[in-house]
Structure 1
Amino acid sequence: MTKIRTGEITTHVQRLPAAGRPADGSEPDVVVFVHGLLTDSLASYYFTLGPAFAAAGFDVIMYDLRGHGRSDRPATGYRLESFVGDLAGLLDALGETRRVHVVGNSFGGTVAAALAAWHPDRVATVTMIESEPPVAEWTRHMADGLADAKSQLSREDVIGWISAHHGAHTARLSRGASRILRVTTLAEDIPAGRVIDDDLSALNCPVLAIFGDESGLSAQVDSLEAKLASCRTVVLAEQGHSVLVERTEETRDLILEWIRDHTLAGAVR
């Protein structure tokens, strides 16, 4: 376990070095994985995409968002710009000067897009898995969703229902999410955070967006393709929000292909 100071908090990070080197002897590309809110942590990537990308020849960085996993949980400071500042600070603390490929699941995809918009010199590509870019409409969605989660997850009957229908592990994660929402200002801070213009003009790097057709987020496809200069969208049939966990191999292959097509180094083994 490694903890690194990133501004005013300490961030838990795990690195997986590339198994091979680029054919031309240069440094391998870096892939940073950013997880989602409340019930998530870097473990979701450790057991899905992270090792596969290291085996494919990429340097991998996975970390716990503030308030999550083994990173610090301050009482306040959960606007989007704080999450982005943590990621930029982490790259600085690691001495990482290469432009990185940022892969984000759910809220992690929003963090990835915001990093690309506000620190374009640091980002090679963005992959958003079941995510939205940080525009004004996103803040309204987050305000409604977080308020509902804060109310519902505080109820024992709701936790009991989750346990009965989704198992004890999911119930424990839900209790943990409820605690985050109770002891921090996350639910209030995120909807009040900084956004980018609706035209997405701030996003200039190549973007891959992966959706499940049953989640509702796939409604963004036409807009993303119209507004972004370099964008590929993929909609997985008969799939809800849990793309990363339920369609891991397809997601891995899609992202590997995308990043290999936009690699900064030599040919990756």
Structure 2
Amino acid sequence: MTRIATGEITTHVQRLAAHRAPDAAGEPPLVVFVHGLLTDSLASYYFTLGPAFARAGVDVLMYDLRGHGRSERPRSGYRLEHFVGDLAGLLDALGEHRPAHVVGNSFGGTVATALAAWHPERVATATMIESEPPVAEWANHMADGLADARARLVHDEAIAWIAAHHGAHTARLSRSAARILASTTLADDVPASRVIDDGLAEIRCPVLAVFGDQSGLAAQVPTLRAALPDCRTVVLPDQGHSVLVERPEETRALVLDWVLSHRPAEVRR
């Protein structure tokens, strides 16, 4: 376990080195995995995509967002720009010079596309898994969802319903989410975040967007295709929001192919 100072907080980090042949030329690509809000942590990638990417010759960086997992939990400072600053600070602290392939699940995809917009030199490609770019409509969605979660998760009856319908593990995650919401200003800060123009012109890197057809977020596909010059969209049938957990093999194949197809020519083998 490694904790690294990233500006005003310390961040919990896990790295997996690429498995490479001794005579491999050049540097391997770097993939940064960014998890979602409240019920998520770097562990979701450790048990789904991370090890397979390392075995495929990719350097893997996973970390817990501020307020989550084993990273520091300040009382305030949860606007999107804080999360993006943490990631940029982490790359600085690690001395990382390679443009990263930033893969984000749910809110993590918003962090990935925001980093691409505000720090384009840092990002080789951005992948959104069941996510939205940080436009004004995203902020409205987050305000509604976080207000609902803050109101409902304080009630034992709600946690009991989650346990009955989704299992004890999900109920434990929901209790953890309730603690984050009660002990921080996250629910107020995220909707007040800096956003980018709805035209998405600030995002200039290649973007992969993966959705479940039953979540509602797949409605973005026409907008993303029209606005982004290099965008691939994939909609998985019979799938809701939990793409990463419920369809890890398909997600792994899609994202790994995307990353390897965007490697610099001199390091392709």
- Normalising to structure 1: TM-score of the pair? 0.98
Distance across 2 between alignment mates of 1:254 and 1:21:
24
Cα distance in 2, alignment partners of residues 203 and 227 from structure 1: 9
Determine whether 1:55 maps to 2:49.
no
User: Match for 2:123: what amino acid?
Assistant: V
The secondary structure found in structure 1 opposite 2:103 is strand
How far did 1:213 drift?
0.1
Residue identity opposite 2:218 in structure 1: S
**Which letter does structure 2 place at the counterpart of 1:266?**
V
Map 1:2-81 onto structure 2 (within 5 A): 2-20=2-20, 25-81=25-81
Deviations 1:194-248 (A, max 9, x none): 0000000000000000000000000000000000000000000000000001000
1:266 matched to 2:267? The reply is yes
Matches within 5 A, 1:1-269: 1-20=1-20, 25-264=25-264, 266-267=267-268
CA deviation digits over 1:83-139, x for unaligned, max 9?
000000000001101000000000000000000000000100000000000000000
Q: After the TM superposition, which parts of structure 1 deviate over 6 Å for at least 4 consecutive aligned residues?
A: none
Q: Which has the higher contact order (CA 8 A, sep 6+)?
A: 1
> Is the Cα–Cα contact under 8 Å of residues 23 and 267 in structure 1 kept in the other structure?
no
In 2, Cα distance between the equivalents of 1:21 and 1:267?
13
Q: Deviations over 1:16-65 (max 9, x none)?
A: 00001597611101000000000000000000000000000000000000
| Alpha-carbon distance between aligned partners in 1 of 2:23 and 2:238, rounded to the nearest angstrom | 39
CA positional deviation for 1:185: 0.2
Residues 23 and 214 (structure 1 numbering): CA distance in 2 closer, same or farther, change over 3 Å? farther
Unaligned runs of 5+ in 2: none
Q: Structure 1 unaligned runs (5+)? A: none
Counterpart Cα distance in 1 of 2:22 and 2:197: 37
Tell me how far 1:166 sits from its aligned partner: 1.1
Taking the aligned partners of 1:153 and 1:230, their CA distance within structure 2 comes to 40
Distance in 2 (alpha carbons) for counterparts of 1:246 and 1:130: 12
Q: Distance in 2 between matches of 1:61 and 1:112?
A: 13
CA contact (8 A) 1:41 1:69 kept: yes
> Matched residue of 1:73: which SS?
coil
Which whole-Å CA distance do the structure 2 matches of 1:214 and 1:86 have between them? 32
Q: How many residues end up aligned between the 2 structures?
A: 268
Distance 1:63 1:220 in 2: 27
One-letter amino acid of the counterpart of residue 267, structure 1: R
TM-score by length of 2: 0.98
Question: Structure 1: which amino acid aligns with 2:267?
Answer: G
Identity of aligned residues (%): 73
RMSD over aligned Cα, in angstroms? 1.1
